[in-house]
Amino acid sequence: MSSKPRTLYEKIFDAHVVERRDDGTCLIFIDRHLVHEVTSPQAFEALRINARKVRHPELTLAVPDHNLPTTARTDAQGNRMPIADEESRAQLAALERNTHDFGIRYFDATARQQGIVHVVGPEQGFSLPGTTIVCGDSHTACHGGLGAWAFGIGTSEVEHVLATQTLLLRPSKTMEVRVEGDLAPGVTAKDLIMHIIGVIGTAGGTGHVIEYRGKVFEQMSIESRLTVCNMSIEGGARGGLIAPDETTFAYIKGRTFAPTADEWDDAVAYWKTLYSDPDAVFDKSVTIDAREVEPSVTWGTSPEDVVAIGGTVPDPAGFTDPSKQEAARASLDYMGLTPGTRMQDIAVQNIFIGSCTNSRIEDLRAAAEVLRGRRKHANIKWGIVVPGSGLVKLQAEAEGLDKVFTDAGLEWREPGCSACLGMNPDKVPAGERSASTSNRNFVGRQGPGARTHLVSPAMAAAAAVTGHLTDVRELMREPA
């Protein structure tokens, strides 16, 4: 008897059901819980009040990332630098105390393993194919790049997972984003996912878990797959994943928390069963032609406000949906842009290379390749490069990338969320623009009044060189 064909998501879901209830909800076992300082304090407090323990401390990993300044963590004597902002200081202290009191593994601000939670999980081999991974953070879908079902949860769910290692869930719908053909030279995973969000819209994936399928993803590095899956939430999806393959296994092997010698073969044998069956049916399917993707850039205040770098700022009147017309008008007003302006004519004053979307070693290499032997333009007042973790930082320094950045006039920082969001000292001044490798261009995201243009690392580096949004392929043709 052959069983019903299933999608990858359905296979992982089924493998984690502890109990199916009559109302259609399922109690799901959670394999990995990642914790950061912003969404965990009340959850730990509730455990304390109810005298509960953490059910599986060994399946939980905590790091500070959002509120941590990205300047030096210690002084010349090795003493920890104080955190100036009171709320940040309190949240960071709470995380330290909570992880200590509840016996949870914690990489503190000075540990070389510290970094953005979504960079640390994969890097440590903590995030694995076929696992359920949660974090009180919307970009948890990132870990889907390894073939995990990973999704963001709220603080009350964080408490539930800490206490029980389970969650009560309804199955999501399934969506396939199939990409046909190859990406052109100079076009990256970030350009592709921005293009996809431009096509499906920020509500395109609502209620669904997206599986990204096609040769493009099979040929991608894990870093690129993590970039793609990271932004699933910007397409409204509950999660995003890519089937694990030999590239995935090679990436994981030997990492700190990866299965060890005895367990490795069994783990790989299981991981090899994790793909959508040929006849599996998706609730929704979208096909994208990779050949149509160009270096992408946003013009508005929603990640779906995407155009190719060769394009122009759209005219709000051109949108058929009246609510989109209204939103576009408001966006252009906030962004200080006029319809018809060529994207390449937009001057930027700030450059941010970092965030859980684009702060892995491959991202830093791509930016450094453009910046090597070049200097930032006089328009650029502030440009920072923020590695996703201490280990990424060490690797980049071993390759001399830090020197490329500082020679170009950019600052080389300590790991953290940084200017991805205004929760720490790294902010873009009001009224100024940034070319940013992060994932959200919302109003005030990089600081009150800041105007964000989302781009890939290579495109951010190109903007640093020219002082305006630029097609990086033009710089790649010219010698530095």
Ligand X SMILES: CC(C)[C@H](C(=O)O)[C@@H](O)C(=O)O
**Touching ligand X, residues 35-74 (CB under 6 A):** 38-39, 66
**At 77, is the secondary structure helix, strand, or coil?**
coil
**At 444, is the secondary structure helix, strand, or coil?**
coil
Which helix (H) or strand (E) is 289 found in, with range?
strand 284-289
Provide the CA 108 distance to its chain's centre, in angstroms.
21
- Rule CB under 6 A: choose which of 31, 137, 294, 414 binds ligand SF4: 137
- 438 binding ligand SF4? (CB under 6 A): yes
Stretch that binds ligand SF4, among 309-317, 374-382, 416-424, 428-436 (CB under 6 A): 416-424
- 138 binding ligand X? (CB under 6 A): yes
**Annotated binding residue 142:** no
Q: Where are the alpha helices (DSSP H) in 345-445?
A: 361-371, 390-398, 401-407
Quote the CA–CA distance of 331 and 360 in Å, as a whole number: 30
Angle between helices 41-49 and 86-101 (to 10 degrees): 50
**At 336, is the secondary structure helix, strand, or coil?**
coil
Binding mask 230-259 for ligand SF4 (x = CB under 6 A): ------------------------------
CB of 467 closer than 8 Å to CB of 480: no
Q: What share of the chain is helix, strand, coil (3-state, %, to 5)?
A: 40, 20, 45
Quote the CA–CA distance of 425 and 303 in Å, as a whole number: 24
- 445 binding ligand SF4? (CB under 6 A): no
Stretch that binds ligand X, among 99-107, 136-144, 216-224, 386-394 (CB under 6 A): 136-144
- 66 binding ligand SF4? (CB under 6 A): yes
Size of the site for ligand X (CB under 6 A): 8
- 465 binding ligand X? (CB under 6 A): no
Q: Please say which residue, 186 or 387, places its beta carbon nearer to ligand SF4.
A: 387
CB of 237 closer than 8 Å to CB of 199: no
Among ligand X, ligand SF4, none, what binds residue 469 when CB lies within 5 to 8 Å by partner kind? none
Nearest CA to 113 out of 71, 171, 60, 62 is that of 62
- Rule CB under 6 A: choose which of 417, 462, 464, 475 binds ligand SF4: 417
Task: Enumerate binding residues for ligand SF4 (CB under 6 A).
Answer: 65-66, 116, 118, 137, 139, 355-356, 417, 420-421, 438-439
- Binding residues for [4Fe-4S] cluster, by number, are 356, 417, 420
- Binding residues, by number, are 356, 417, 420
Task: Enumerate binding residues for ligand X (CB under 6 A).
Answer: 38-39, 66, 137-139, 152, 421
